Structure 1
Amino acid sequence: MATLPPRKNPTPTKISKEDLTPLEILLQLGFPRHRAEKALAATGYRGLQLASDWLLAHVRDPTLDCNEPREYVLYACPTGPLAEKLLAFWTESRELGWNGAHNCMPHVTLVSFFKAPDEAAEKLAGLLEDVVSLKDSPDKIGLETYISPNFMGLFIEEKHANWLKTIAVKFVNKLSSLSISAEPPTKSLHITLAYQFSESLFQPLRNMAERLGYTTRANWELRLYSRDSRVGDAHVHKVTHAHVPREHDELELRPGDYIYLSERACSESIDGWVEGTSWLTGITGYLPLNHTKRTAESDAWTLHSTVQIIENRVESIEEEIPRTRNPPILSSNESLDMPDGIPTDHEPMAGSEAPQMSSRQIFICRHGERVDFTFGAWIPYCFEANGCYVRRDLNMPKDIPARNIQEFQNDCPLTTLGEIQANLVGQAMRSSNVTIDVAYASPSLRCVQTLSQILQGHGSDVRIKVEPGLIEWLAWYPNGLPVWMTPEALTKAGFDVDLNYKAIVKTESLPQRENAAQYYERSFKLIEKIIEQTKGNVLIVAHAASLAACTRQLTGGRVPPAAEVTRLVQRVPYLACLTAQQGPDGWQLLPPPFPPITHTSNSRFDWKILT
């Protein structure tokens, strides 16, 4: 019998491959296909981490293996000043009492709810780009106010309504090619201001609607949302107080979660307890109603895609919306609202010429290469049963700080190359005569490590100020904040942390949940405070989303929708650096005074994508 040749160690040293799709990675990790597709659809295909977190949170969801598809809806939504006015109207009118318009954000329904299988979710998000032709878009969308004793709204002028309906028809035709059935709009297009309100509220609501101003050149965008089919006609309540179950049939409540409650359950409860379903876990149980507060149903929806259809190209003009309109033409079975009713010749290439250093500057960098995105599930691979860390690849960190192993799950360290990357950036800063007067890091370990290496490469003795307010968008942490190392623990681990620094945003004051606008507002207020409290040049190391979030409003830009935030993040590589400089006309973005760092799949960073 022939002797078997010696076999090399079959243990993989790279657990995940960057060319694999999130679905393929989930399948490799052992998740059944239908569960993986359900998780990706439920999280809007916003990344592997969110999908895997969703699966872990829904492990006891009784519908996890059901084939019930999600429900999708296509809206046209105003943005900018008009949206702000409408949201202010919503807030004021809610103080009078709840009405049907409060179930959703201000919108025009283009395609009412339709069902689509989870495996089609990614394709659906890509359809919108194919149905919009910006060259055919009007300069504005005209609106007229309509007021009646049981409905108030802003109706789209006919020629603009026809253009929007054409977009809707194109989208429905695209759906048909995927064997998905949906109906284009047949009713008059409108934004609902109020309906399903009591007779006593008519006059105050009318007064509010009639004094509503309108920004003629408002921006508009298409948004594709989906919702859990269990929502249906249920009310959505936001959890305001935690509740730990005392009986087996009670539901655990976590502040920031959403609960689906039937209208009947709310109205017929005799003891203040109602049966509801958790948006976060999918589990159903009894809960104290006074631990929740009703909110818009759309707060619990998933945003899949956003496409700009009208962008303000001239200065806005404030005017009153016309207050008279003939009643809309509706068929006998229609309701007024459903479902509620690369650089140019004159631009320098990044790194080609260092800008003048006479003005104050802020440098914002993303952290270096992280272990989990490089090796996948690295914790069970690198830790022995006795808890000892074993370096199984030269790109894995030589040493890691002493802490609870599970805390690395959502707060991972840098790879070896990540540390080298950061040190190279520090060297480049020194060669470009960049001065650093104060340095801040997000509390994430990878950010503290990155800043430490940049300062070492730069030869700076500036101490690291750990600022919790620099943490990335909290929507990417649906199960709560990571457990970060304290400044004292970081100091013990060898990092030169400023132990006397008082954080601007305390960890305990971070919200349990926030939308994109709230994240940008948090980041903007933080950068304003940093500018106010410091002198000289500031270096900040945080996350991919931080580059835009900390500078967009500072330089006069608008807050992008959630989908754009996700797209921007995907185009910001490790150690990308953005420069904001203060001038006589305020702050502006400039090309970094040193070249970017590129290796293998780490793409070249073009700073102009964030302008």
Structure 2
Amino acid sequence: MWLGRVNPLPTPLGLNEVTQRTVLLSDRADRAQYSVHRYQHAPLSGMWTSERRTGLPLGKRDVCMALILKALVSTGGRSVQAACDWLFSHVDDPFLDDPLPREYVLYLRPSGPLLHQLSHFWQQSRITCGKNKAHNIFPHITLCQFFMCADGKVEALCEALQSTVTQWRGRFPSPLPLELYTSSNFIGLFVEEQVAEVLKAFAADFSTEAATKADVHVEPHKKQLHVTLAYHFQPDHLPSLEKLAKGVDVSMGCDWLAVLFSRDIRFASHETLRVMYPYTPQNEDELELVPGDFIFMSPVEQNSTSEGWVYGTSLSTGLSGLLPENYISRADECDTWVFHGSHSFLSCASPSGSGAAVGGACDGLLDSRLLEDRSPGDPPSLNVICQPMQVLRVNSQPRLPKRTLFVCRHGERMDVVFGKHWLSQCFDAKGRYMRTNLNMPPSLPVRSGGYRDYDKDGPITVFGSTQARLVGEALLESNTVIDFIYSSPSLRCVQTAHNILKGLQQDGKLKIKVEPGLFEWTKWVSGTSLPAWIPPADLAGANLSVDATPHIPVSKLTVSESYDTYISRSFQVTREILSDCKNMGNNVLIVAHASSLEACTRQMQGLTPQNSKDFVQVVRKIPYLGFCACEEQGDTGVWQLVDPPILPLTHGPNHSFNWRETLLQD
């Protein structure tokens, strides 16, 4: 953190524009870490009142302050570090100095049991009928139109919302009467008219308060207030969606939260895409891609692009360029929104700003960790803002005695992080393993077929082990008991299962059942043979506690199997596993591949398999340690996806660093 006076950096002659901009912004960001901290604890008028205090000429003071405010607002005021990181990542953003403000919107967002109901509808409607436009935003009631607010007025805007909610405590209608309405292309829950007028009065009071405190014009919503469940869907999906909508119990308890979000107005009409794979530009007009980043794409800008390429702008850097379309997937519009505050109308819940807790002591409220920690303006984490499917379990409750199947993807793998030629980095001519990076494990199990067998059956990284242990610790913290654990024979899966058990404090107590039938679609295996997996006896010698009594032996697997064969195999082995474990324990964990989360659960729910193209699109979206839960409905044999007992795991990339190449430059 910058604590002393910093003199303005001179601009050396001969530096190109990019270097000048980088030097200037680095200077700004260094001061930002100090000044942002001061801004968060002191009024704006008391900041930077002299050149002596800032080390900046008074003429540059306002420019630097504008940058700091922009960084704070773009990261939701989460932290000093987040704002500074945002500044550094946008060093080459051509719109960095653009004074255009962000757009804001006020929603009522459900929490508690009703959120569970709506989240289930969101999830099942997407699985059954695919995405429609309602999925772009979490369940909500719109209270006003989008409105602009200058960066310097955002703090006052948040105060206006808090003040209005405080005035309305005890007056806000609860519960809200909701009535289902359906038409040929729309399904929603409408607020009863008299109660809707009360909500509009609250919105009008906020509009007045915002105009007084923040000098902004907020136009309250004039249409009928409602929660949109589905719209712009295919006509033949109406019966399925209507049936799901009728299953939403609107009488369930709910604390409606007043939430404030913002978005970048420049991309309001753009399509939002998520980066799935890293890409290094090959030409000057191409955009670098980092997994987890978001891309804004305008249909208007695609007219001159080549087939297979799109033109877009990165959320994390502000840079624009061409990118391969098979490296991205569709995301939800609200994934890139910034959260600025949430307030409960119940007296038991304290109001929340960007960095405060939402729920307090109240059970079932919206998880504040999903709101306060997920700012897409934070480049190192590149996290998603809105995940309405996850609800905080403030008071850990014992699970109901239902049978639950958990399916989890393995952890970060060596060959993906260090490339397909990673063996040449780690093994000498005599086959001896050498650790060349901290993320490589200190040692590897000895393979009877030689180290070349790692080429098709790679281990997980040190961070992959950490990911798995974190999931195990989260399961332990949530009081979730795992009665049986099954793993694909791939080493990365067995190691992941082992580290999950470590986190659960069950390593050595619960054996990992190695099941070849859980291996991924063999069409994805390169070459003409399956991997030479480590035999169970050798795994035991590597301190991996395993049991090998397979339902589908290795001999039954074939190279390049058809999609139908893979789906049938996955369904068969899942049913046999659950049948074996029945009456012996309630919870079964399968640790396998990204494809397993779909292949092992879809038919268990009574759904027909997707076509292979849609299946691949689903699989591409499942990250390391992606985790899902499927629960049996009574003793019927019918299963249903439910909220997992743990929070999702999200983190950002960390590229390779060579200090010689980076720092020893002429």
TM-score normalised by structure 1 residue count: 0.50
